[in-house]
Structure 1
């Protein structure tokens, strides 16, 4: 079996799994100085875009293509490549299709999609000027496109809104929900979907604290919230998107209103994947490989599901004991260190809260 992987930044997360499966790995990358280029069997440096990967896939006669892209802008090009490679050449591309990407890459379209499928989302309006605002403060101002908290502002007064419009001509203005932030991964392939355990990402803040600066835990344990509701809602969203790959969804839970709100959905690998893997034993990136080689099924995923207490903590630079090889696998480790130097995070797991605390005391 020969697979083409597009993008090298995330490849070290699955290199160990690819090798364990005896898969011949081919990788394309546009940056000749990118990380992880020493890991695959073959590497091709190609121009930005999907023309290069398409040519390499055909030249190398690969069995499937697995894009490993963790940012939004290239996703629509990947989706168009998926249509072409699958329809014209019969080569599966394990990624979301055009409709799913178009609905999820634009926050305004995502809002409209939630309304169409009857999934609760915070009240919102599209602002073309500050004086159009009719929601009560505080409100959240966003742009239609963007990720990782980019171009998001929590406005507490009209002056905050006016300041936002000094930079932008339009804004998606959303009701600020005071409550718990939750993330969940859903795996989808050939019209089968499975929602993995939800992850708790902390409480919302007026300051708009970035998720990378928060301690996260799994499984999600928020008083008053039924995790089955989160999984059922996430499953409903994924099923209506009707596509393949990883769906990462963000929710908010208001204890005051006893209401779960859908915030956004991404059709790509996400930042909470380590914590999900630590919590339940299912690695979403490895499942992309399984989809490509014909070994993905709901029963296989259910057989892997476990239950652990886990946490993810920002540490800057890790200086604790070295993990076992492979360093990105929870099959050989009870912790994984990830992220660039200066911004590293440690994700650890144990079978009880007490054991988790003891493990963390040894690591940090």
Structure 2
């Protein structure tokens, strides 16, 4: 079995699994100085875009293509390539299709999609000027595109809105939900979908604290919230997107209103994947490989589900004990260190809350 992987930044997360499965790995990358280029069996440096990876896939006669792209801008090009390669060359590409990317990469499209399928989302309006605002403060101002908190502002007054419009000519404006932030991964392939356990990402703050600076935990345990509701809603969203790969969804739960709100959905690997793996033993990136080799199965995932307490802590630069090889696998470790220097995080797991506290104390 030969698989083409597109993008090297995330490849070290699954290199151990690719080797364990005996897969011949081919990788394309546009940056010859990128990390992890020493890991695959073959590496091809290609221009930006999807034409280079497509040509390498055909030249190397690969059996499948797995894009490992964790940012939004290239996803639409990947989706167009997927549809062409699957149609013309019968090579499976484990990624979202054009419709799914168009619905999820633009927050306005996503809002309209939620409304269409009957999923509750915070009240919103599209502003072309501050004068059009009718929602009560505080409100959240966003651009249609962007990730990682980019171009998001919590406005507490009309002056804040006016300041935002000094930089932008339009804004997606939605009510600020005071409550719990929740993330969940859904895996889908060939019309089958499975929602993994929800992850707790902390409480919303009027200051707009970035998610990377919060301590996260799994599984999600929020008073008044039924995790089955989160999983059912996430499954419904993925089923209606009707595509392949990883779907990472963000929700808010308002205890005051006892209401779950859908915020956004991404069709790419996401920042909570380590915590999900630690919590339930299912690695979403490894499941992309399983989809490519024909071993993705809902029954198999159900049989392999584990139940752990886990946490993810931002540490800047980690200086604790070294994990075992392979260092990115929870199959061999009870903790994983990830992220670039200066912004590293430690994700750890244990079978009880007390054991987790003891482990974290040892690592810190």
TM category (shorter chain) comes to: over 0.9
Q: Secondary structure at the match of 1:292?
A: helix
How far is the alpha carbon of 1:362 from its aligned partner?
0.6
Deviations 1:172-191 (A, max 9, x none): 00000000000000000000
- The equivalent residue for 1:253 is 253
Offset of 1:74 from its aligned partner? 0.1
Name the CA distance, whole Å, in 2 between partners of 1:258 and 1:109.
26
2:167 is the counterpart of 1:167: yes
SS at structure 2 position matched to 1:131: helix
Partner of 2:294 in structure 1?
A: 294
Structure 1 counterpart of 2:339? 339
Cα displacement (A) at 1:303: 1.1
Alignment match, 1:238? 238
In structure 1, the partner of 2:42 is: 42
2: distance between equivalents of 1:135 and 1:233?
Answer: 26
- For 2:250 and 2:10, the matched residues in 1 are separated by 21
Secondary structure of 1:119's counterpart equals coil
| 2-structure distance, mates of 1:325, 1:202 | 31
Gaps of at least 5 residues in structure 2 are none
**Aligned residue number for residue 304 of structure 1:** 304
CA distance in 2, matches of 1:61, 1:303: 34
Relative to the length of structure 2, the TM-score reads: 1.00
Structure-1-length-normalised TM-score? 1.00
**Take 1:300 and 1:46, find their aligned partners in 2: how far apart are those partners?**
36
CA apart distance, 1:304: 1.1
SS of structure 2 residue aligned to 1:9: coil
For 1:304 and 1:28, the matched residues in 2 are separated by: 31
Partner of 1:157: 157
In structure 1, stretches of 5+ residues that fail to align are none
Name 2:2's counterpart in structure 1: 2
- Aligned partner of 1:281 in structure 2 is 281
SS in 1 for 2:136: coil
SS in 2 for 1:82: helix
Please give the alpha-carbon distance, in whole angstroms, between the structure 2 residues aligned to 1:134 and 1:361.
Answer: 49
Counterpart in 1 of 2:14?
14
Aligned-pair Cα RMSD in Å: 0.2
Q: Does 1:210 align with 2:213?
A: no
The separation in 2 between residues aligned to 1:78 and 1:300, in whole angstroms, is 28
Task: Please report how far the alpha carbon of residue 44 of structure 1 lies from its aligned counterpart in structure 2 after TM superposition.
Answer: 0.1
Shift of 1:49: 0.2
In the other structure, the counterpart of 1:64 is 64
User: 2:108 & 2:343 partners in 1: Cα distance?
Assistant: 31
C-alpha offsets along residues 76-121 of structure 1, whole Å, 9 cap, x if unaligned? 0000000000000000000000000000000000000000000000
**2:327 matched to which residue of 1?**
327
SS at match of 2:332: coil
Give the match for residue 87 of structure 2: 87
Cross-structure match for 1:136: 136
Query: What corresponds to 1:200 in structure 2?
Result: 200
User: How far apart are the structure 2 equivalents of 1:322 and 1:181?
Assistant: 31
Cα distance in 2 for partners of 1:62, 1:262 equals: 38
1:165 Cα deviation (Å)?
0.1
CA distance in 2, matches of 1:155, 1:360: 36
Cα distance, 1:48 vs. partner?
0.2
Q: Which residue of 2 aligns with 1:187?
A: 187
Distance in structure 1 (CA, Å) of the matches to 2:169 and 2:38: 45
The CA deviation at 1:12 is: 0.1
Distance 1:141 1:131 in 2: 14
Corresponding position of 2:26: 26
In structure 2, the partner of 1:224 is 224
d(CA) in 2 for partners of 1:291, 1:182: 26
- The structure 1 segments of at least 4 consecutive aligned residues displaced by more than 6 Å after TM superposition are none
